[in-house]
Amino acid sequence: MGQLVVVSNRIALPVNGKSSAGGLAVGILDALKKNGGLWFGWNGEIAEISGEEEPVSKTSHDGINYASFSLNQNDYDLYYSQYSNTVIWPAFHYRLDLVDYQRTAWEGYCRVNQLLAARLAPLLSEGDIVWAHDYHLLPFAAELRKAGKNPPVGFFLHIPFPAPEVFNALPDHKTLLEMLCSYDLLGFQTKNDKQAFLSSLDQATGLTKTEEGRYQAFGRTFSVDHYPIGIEPESIRQIAAGPLPPKMVAIREELGDAKNIIACERLDYSKGLPERFLAYEALLEHHPRHRGHIRYTQIAPTSRGEVQAYQKIRHQLETEAGRINGKYGTLSWTPLYYLNQHFDRRLLMKIFRLTDIALITPLRDGMNLVAKEYVAAQDPENPGVLILSRFAGAACELTSALIVNPYDRGEVAAAIDQAITMPLSERIERYQQMMAVLTHQTIDRWRDTFLQDLRSVGRLTGEPQDRG
Catalytic residues: 158, 365
Contact status, residue 357 vs residue 371, Cβ threshold 8 Å? no
Q: CA 156, 159, 165, 171: dihedral to nearest 10 degrees?
A: -80
Q: Are 362 and 272 in contact (CB under 8 A)?
A: yes
> 311 — phi, psi (to 5°)?
-65, -40
How many CB atoms neighbour CB 443 within 10 A?
22
Distance CA 269, CA 77 (A): 20
A 10 A CB-CB count for 233 gives 22
The rounded distance, in Å, linking the Cα atoms of 82 and 112 is 13
Residue 41 zone, left/alpha/beta (φ > 0; ψ -120 to 50; rest): left
Q: How far, in Å, CA of 366 to CA of 88, rounded?
A: 13
**Within 10 Å of residue 301's Cβ, how many Cβ atoms?**
13
- Distance of alpha carbon 330 from alpha carbon 409, whole angstroms: 24
Rounded-to-integer distance, Cα 387 and Cα 265, Å: 14
Q: What is the dihedral of CA 344, 350, 353, 356, to 10 degrees?
A: -60
**Is there a contact between 185 and 454 (Cβ–Cβ < 8 Å)?**
yes
Measured in residues, the chain has a length of 468
- With contact defined as beta carbons under 8 Å apart, do 336 and 324 qualify? yes
CA distance 362 to 311: 18
Report the distance separating Cα 277 and Cα 271, nearest Å: 12
Dihedral sign, Cα of residue 180, residue 184, residue 188, residue 193: positive
